[in-house]
Amino acid sequence: MLRAITHARISVRLEMYIYSESPIGERFREALRLAAERGAEVRVLIGAWGSMTLPDAFWEPVRSAGGKVRWFNPFNLERDAIRDHRKLLVCDRAVAFVGGFNIAAEYQGDGVTEGWHDCGVEI
């Protein structure tokens, strides 16, 4: 996924339910920032419920580079059951990643000896 963002020239679309302020989260943020600086249209949608510990200020480097970041369903007790569990990345409308993974420290590892065991596919 990081390689696809690094090579993107036209667009990057990232939609994630859980995104944490962690080393892996910072690596993705930096790749998104650099893509925006290269002129790729960067759009990020983060699930507010799944990423409730992530401060909005975390995204300032991406926004400053021209990317757009939005929160899906910011906290509202009348709509607390409405959540976006999608996890996907589309780069240059040519390569996509979908699956059950999120961008957080607990997803790093091989899924056997450390980290969540989850599946994803590159299309």
Instruction: Name the DSSP class of 48.
Output: T
H runs (alpha helix) in the chain: 2-7, 23-38, 60-64
CATH code of 27's domain: 3.30.870.10
**pLDDT by residue (tens digit) across 40-87?**
999 999 999 889 999 999 999 999 999 999 998 776 666 666 666 778
Average pLDDT over residues 91-99: 96
Query: Which is nearest to 99 in space by CA: 76, 122, 77?
Result: 122
* % of the chain surpassing 90 pLDDT: 67
In the predicted model, what is the mean pLDDT of residues 17-29?
A: 95
Q: What angle do CA 51, 54, 55 make, to 5 degrees?
A: 140
Number of CB atoms found within 10 A of residue 118's CB: 13
In the chain, the number of structural domains is: 1
Tell which phi-psi region holds residue 108, choosing left (phi > 0), alpha (psi between -120 and 50) or beta: beta
Which domain, by its residues, includes 79? 2-122
Q: What pLDDT is recorded for position 117? A: 74
Query: What was the pLDDT predicted at 118?
Result: 78
